[in-house]
A = this chain, B = another copy of it.
Amino acid sequence: MVKAAVMTEPNLPLEIREFPEPELEPGAILLETLFSEVCGTDVHLHKGQLAGVPYPIIPGHINVGRIKRIAGESYDVDGNRLESGDVVTFMDVHETCNNCWFCLVAKATTRCPNRKVYGITYSADEGLLGGWSEEIYLKPGVKVVKLPANIPPERFIGGGCGLPTALHAVQQAGIQLGDSVVVQGSGPVGLSAAILAQLSGACQLIVVGAPQLRLDMALEMGVDAVINIEEHGSEERIELVRELTSGRGADVTIEASGNPHAVTEGMRMTRDNGRFIVVGQYSDGGDVTINPHWDINRKHLEIRGTWGIDFSHFYRSVKVMAKHGDRFHWENLVSRSYSLDQVNQALADVAALKVIKAVIKP
Contacts and interface: CB of A to CB of B under 8 A. Distances in A.
Interface of A: 77-79, 96, 98-102, 104-108, 110-111, 141, 143, 167, 170-171, 176-178, 196, 199-201, 203-204, 246-248, 260, 263, 271-273, 278-294, 296-307, 310-312, 315-320, 322-324
A320 B105 contact: no
B284 A291 contact: yes
Contacts of A290: 263, 287-288, 290
A177 B203 contact: no
Nearest to A199: B201
Contact of A288 (B171, B284, B289): B289
A311 B77 contact: no
Given A203-B322, A306-B297, A246 B281 contact: no
Given A171-B177, A285-B293, A111 B303 contact: no
Given A285-B293, A306-B297, A322-B203, A312 B110 contact: no
A177 B102 contact: no
A301 B111 CA distance: 11
A24 to B, nearest CB: 18
Nearest to A110: B300
Given A177-B200, A282-B297, A322-B203, A107 B107 contact: yes
* Max chain B C-beta neighbours (<10 A), residue from A143, A260, A263, A278: A278
A102 B272 contact: yes
A292 B288 contact: yes
Contact of A301 (B285, B292, B305): B305
A254 to B, nearest CB: 12
A166 to B, nearest CB: 10
A200 to B, nearest CB: 5
B306 A300 contact: yes
A203 to B, nearest CB: 4
A292 B260 CA distance: 6
A311 B102 contact: no
A310 B273 CA distance: 14
